A and B are shown apart, each in its own frame.
Chain A
Amino acid sequence: MKPWKVSRPGRNYRSEIHLSKKIAELDVILRNLEQNCDLIDTALVSDKGRMMCSSLPEGSEEKAVAAMAAAILSIGSRVGMELGVGVLKSTLIDGNKKSVVLKDIGGILLVGIAPPESEIGLVDYEVNKAAEKVQALFRL
């Protein structure tokens, strides 16, 4: 997790402390999610492609991951609209080396990377639980 910036004198301390607390809570949600269902990496991304919080390893391209996640949501929504599936809830990309789960939480994307032998049902269940906690945190 990247350390949050220390606030400078003259700035609005309350809003910065409040935001730091939210980041810490998001971190806890992501860590619990990884522990509960063997996800290798997790991240929370805004629908504009900005990284909010992540447990991605050192050296990974956070900007690229965030941008791709937002792009997948956008394309998925467009495809869904064309095929009449309604509001996009989640997307699963199943590969032979890893699986990627993307869950839309009303403007925030929860991204999870799972190993190939993971049980997708358990991942789906725990991702939904984590999504509810994020929703409650941001009152979405």
Chain B
Amino acid sequence: MSVNKADKLEGILKKMISKSHEAITSCVVTTERGLIVAGVVTDQSSSEILSAMVSLMSDTAARVCGNLGYGNPKTALVQTMNTTIAMAEFPVMDRRFRMGAVLNESKKFSIFGGRLVVEKRVPVERIEGMFNEVTRSIRETLEGK
């Protein structure tokens, strides 16, 4: 049974979320106009709101960099106490696509064998490496390679 593009893209995003050991709770891929190409949302946010905010982050970052003369932004981060919203731009056939993800940076506590266990999340620095890998897979899928 052949897998269609929409399922392939969703599979790529789900694999990234699982590899992050639940550090990434939601992820969307959008076109330059903010239309959703693929999305996996596991927390209370909706994919439409997340994609709209990812577009807003990208456009705002582009304005900031444009006004300061630093060229086009590649990534942008917004951090709160326990959450990071990350956006990365990548080209697909001369069009600008964006990937946005919500990262939960709080540590997870659990009791195992009567002892308190702290599970560490994947650090934010490694998330960038994951983003690069995922955006490459998404680009190859969209370009039909």
Contacts and interface: CB of A to CB of B under 8 A. Distances in A.
A38 B4 contact: yes
Interface stretch (B17-25, B34-42, B71-79, B101-109): B34-42
B47 to A, nearest CB: 9
A120 B36 contact: yes
A118 B36 CA distance: 10
A118 to B, nearest CB: 7
Contacts of A35: 2, 4
Contact of A119 (B37, B92, B93): B37
A124 B5 CA distance: 13
A36 interface: yes
A120 B33 CA distance: 11
B4 A120 contact: no
A126 B38 CA distance: 13
Nearest to A132: B93
A122 B5 CA distance: 9
30 contacts: A35-B2, A36-B4, A36-B5, A36-B144, A37-B4, A38-B6, A118-B6, A119-B6, A119-B36, A119-B37, A119-B38, A121-B29, A121-B33, A121-B34, A121-B35, A121-B36, A121-B37, A121-B38, A121-B51, A122-B5, A122-B6, A122-B9, A122-B37, A124-B31, A124-B33, A124-B35, A125-B37, A125-B92, A126-B5, A129-B93
Interface of B: 2, 4-6, 9, 29-31, 33-39, 51, 92-93, 95, 142, 144
